[in-house]
Amino acid sequence: MADLVTPAERRRLYTLLSPAYLWLMVAVFLPLSAMLFFSFLTDMPQDAPDWGVTLGNYAEFLSNPTYGTLMAKSLKLAVTVTLFCILIGYPCALVLAKSIKGRAREALFLMVILPFWSNSLVRIFSWAIVLRGNGVLERAINWVLPFDVRLNLMFTTDAVVIGLVHSYLPYVILTSYLALQAVDDDLIDAARSMGASKLTILRRILLPLSLPGLLAGAVLVFVPVVGSFMEPRILGGRMGTYYGTVIEDQFVAVYNWPLGAALSFILLAVVIVILAAASPVLKRAQT
Amino acid sequence: MTRSPLVLIGKIWLALILVFLYAPILVMAAMSFNASPFYQLPFQFSTDWYAKMAGNQQIIAAAIRSVLIACATTAIATVLGTAASVALFRYDFPGKRILQVLLFPPIAIPWLITGTAMLVFFFAIGIGRGTPAVLIGHVALALPYVIVTVSARLSSFDVTLEEAARSMGANAWTVLSRVTLPWIAPGIVAGALFAFAVSFDQFVVSYFLSEPGDSTLPVLIYTAIRKGFTPEINAISTIIVTVSMAVMFLAARFSKFGGSR
């Protein structure tokens, strides 16, 4: 590492850094600031020359109970999905990190993580194929069970939860696995040699030491689920109206961009509060 | 932990999760080879849907656009991201910590927010919707991934190697091309593959930024799903999943080799 002493070095630093950061500035940070600005407008300047400044878009959020209800619905969905991801994913990470060794562990870990990097839209679509009435899942169950079962899962909240858990489960497994892997096996052996049961080892050693990783995974699931709109649209049908879908509507169907900007910004505020509350945990998880 | 019923239960649990993760994708892929347009069983093998898909001009055009945008994103994000990583690694300067923290928002903020913000801003400054807007957005989303991946590789780089080369008379360019770049190459390759995947799989930002009739594959699929879909969509979806899983598999291999060498 070098301190900047000569003008030539300073120039080299700017040449290397500025393209990437200018790009991020133009494509991410200016848009976010612009959105805050537009959320206080009556109309978009390019549509109406007589646009004005107003607090009306935020007043709309406060006065119309629909938005608050949908925000609560989205938060509840995020809590549900996060809990399922933890309950399903943490034991899985535990098995991967502590009872499977060597090449098998590497291969299985890669297999768990791989779907996460494939197209999320396509994976939600695949659930639409599986869950649809008289679809593969219903047929499979009816083939095993002697009596007729009608699941009718498609276009329900359950379908949305299943799809979202499928989408974000690998996050929890990834972060928990990394945290659990860092726990020294000697610590576990020492506890066992002193007569600790498996449950005690889990409760007193593994869980506390991997908690930062688990919580980091939970945040990484929670935040995008609050803002999800594509999953509820495809799997939820008429039940699939959430805060995210209302924002989508403002931009692609209703064309009330200032209101959409205000709703987006309120969502961003919620996200920032969640991230800020979790940031001590996230920082600990990094190390 | 040794063999015990608990371990067995754990392994069964892991197996069930793998079934949960892969079964729907496999069902979708199987249905793309099923003759019935209404997803009826029994299964009858047919490649008709792939033939139909290949003849669908809209799908082909969107596929070409997706691949081109992903390649352009990869090229731009890899070059800019690698340059920034080298600068962040090489120099100490005031505000460095802030620059590193600034990489976090594009990854952490839900794409719905970033996408709608880009839409509003690009209209305000006159870029509007369309392929250039999509490309600008994709590069911005891919950059943090490249910088993080290349920086991770750089952190294991021994600066004394450069000093050694320089002391033996190598100039700045030779040091860069013969010492530094070969060392971080696995990180750059992994970063490039991440960038490709981020762009190729990106739906939300493309959805808000693309012009109707001028869309990328995921946007086309979303529109098709909502209008009522046919197994043609399964066929193209199967191809997409295969491509992106292959890319990520390679990325995982490269970043692992990067760590162990």
Span A173-212, pLDDT tens digits: 988 998 888 888 888 888 888 888 888 888 888 888 888 8
Give B207's pLDDT tier (boundaries 50, 70, 90).
very high
In a domain, A17, yes or no: no
List C-alpha distances in Å: B72 to A116, A119, B136.
23, 19, 10
Q: Say yes or no to pLDDT of B242 above 50.
A: yes
A76 in any annotated domain: yes
**pLDDT, tens only, A201-243:** 888 888 888 888 898 889 889 999 999 999 999 999 888 899 9
Q: Is A51 inside a domain boundary?
A: no
CB atoms within 10 A of CB A265: 23
Residues B99-125 have pLDDT tens digits of 988 998 888 899 999 999 999 999 988
Q: Indicate left, alpha or beta for B243 from its phi (over 0: left) and psi (-120 to 50: alpha).
A: alpha
Chain B residue with minimum CA distance to A112: B18
Distance from CA of A54 to the nearest CA of B (A): 17
A28–B105 CB contact, under 8 Å: yes
Sign of the Cα torsion B58, B64, B66, B68 reads negative
Distance in Å, alpha carbon of A218 to nearest chain B alpha carbon: 13
d(CA A70, CA A79): 14
**pLDDT on residue A179:** 87
b/e map B146-178, b = 16+ CB within 10 Å: bbbbbbbbbeebeeeebeebeeeebeeeebeee
Asked if A1 lies within 8 A of B91 by C-beta distance, the reply is yes
pLDDT band at B258 (very low <50, low <70, confident <90, very high): very low
**CB-nearest partner of B39 from A110, A123, A135:** A135
Instruction: Identify the pLDDT of residue B1.
Output: 46
The reply to whether residue B80 touches residue A23, judged by beta carbons under 8 angstroms, is: yes
- Domain coverage including residue A202: 68-286
Question: Above pLDDT 70, what percent of chain B?
Answer: 96
Looking at the 3D structure of chain A, how many domains does it have? 1
B1 vs A contacts (CB less than 8 Å): 98-99, 188, 198
Is the separation of the CB atoms in A88 and A96 below 8 Å?
no
Mean per-residue pLDDT over chain B, rounded? 87
Rounded Cα distance, B130 and B215, in Å: 8
User: Is B87 within 8 Å of A16 when comparing Cβ atoms?
Assistant: yes
- Taken in order of first residue, the domains within chain B and their CATH numbers are 56-260 (1.10.3720.10)
A95–B14 CB contact, under 8 Å: yes
CB-closest option in A89, A125, A230 to B28: A125
| Least confident stretch, A66-80, A206-220, A242-256, B73-87 | A206-220
pLDDT at A1 over 60: no
Residues in chain A: 287
- Its pTM surpasses 0.90: no
Residues belonging to chain B: 261
The end-to-end CA distance of chain A, in Å, is 21
Q: Is B31 on the interface with A (CB under 8 A)?
A: yes
Q: Nearest chain B Cα to A100, which residue?
A: B11
Give the confidence band of B261 by pLDDT, cuts at 50, 70, 90.
very low
Distance CA B57, CA B54 (A): 8
Q: Cβ separation of B31 and A129 shorter than 8 Å?
A: yes
Q: Which of A95, A123, A228, A254 to mutate to test the interface with B (most CBs of B within 10 A)?
A: A95
Query: What does residue A88 show for φ and ψ, rounded to 5 degrees?
Result: -85, -40
Domain contains A35? no
Sequence-distant (6+) residues with CB within 8 A of A17 are B83, B84, B87, B88, B99
Q: Do B112 and A264 touch (CB under 8 A)?
A: yes
* Residue A21 falls inside a structural domain: no
Residue A15 lies in a domain: no
- In angstroms, what CA-CA distances link A211 with A24, A154, A202? 33, 35, 11
Does any domain span residue A86? Answer: yes
The Cα B140–Cα A19 span in angstroms is: 11
Residue B95 burial by CB count (10 A; 0-12/13-18/19+): exposed, middle or buried? exposed
* Chain A residues within an 8 Å CB radius of B200: 119
SS3 of chain A: CEECCCHHHHHHHHHHHHHHHHHHHHHHHHHHHHHHHHCCECCCCCCCCCCCECCHHHHHHHHCHHHHHHHHHHHHHHHHHHHHHHHHHHHHHHHHHHCCCHHHHHHHHHHHHHHHHCCHHHHHHHHHHHHCCCCHHHHHHHHHCCCCCCCCCCCCHHHHHHHHHHHHHHHHHHHHHHHHHCCCHHHHHHHHHCCCCHHHHHHHHHHHHHHHHHHHHHHHHHHHHHCCCHHHHHHHHHHCCCHHHHHHHHHHCCCCHHHHHHHHHHHHHHHHHHHHHHHHHHHHHHC
CATH of the domain at A195: 1.10.3720.10
On average, the pLDDT of chain A sits at 86
Q: How far is A63 from chain B (nearest CA, A)?
A: 22
Q: What angle do CA B94, B97, B100 make, to 5 degrees?
A: 130
Which pLDDT score, from 0 to 100, does residue A116 have?
Answer: 77
Question: Comparing B17 with A48, which gets the higher pLDDT?
Answer: B17
Bridge partner residues of B92 (DSSP): A3
Confidence class for position B169, pLDDT limits 50, 70, 90 = confident
Q: Which of residues 128-167 of B touch A (CB under 8 A)?
A: 136-137, 139-140, 143-144, 147, 159
Q: Of A204-208, A260-264, A277-281, B63-67, give the lowest mean pLDDT range.
A: A277-281
Across the range B167-196, mean pLDDT stands at: 87
A42 domain-assigned: no
Model pLDDT, residue A230: 93
Tokens of residue B154, six digits: 């750089």
Asked whether the predicted pLDDT for residue A287 surpasses 70, the reply is: no
pLDDT digits (tens, 9 = 90+) for A91-117: 999 998 888 887 888 888 888 888 877
Chain A residue numbers touching B87 (CB-CB < 8 A): 12-13, 16-17
Burial B119-140 (b: 16+ CB within 10 A, else e): bbbbbbeeeebebebbbbbbbb
Confidence (pLDDT) at A5: 65
Across the interface, whether the CB atoms of B91 and A44 are under 8 A apart is answered no
Which pLDDT does position B84 carry in this prediction? Answer: 94
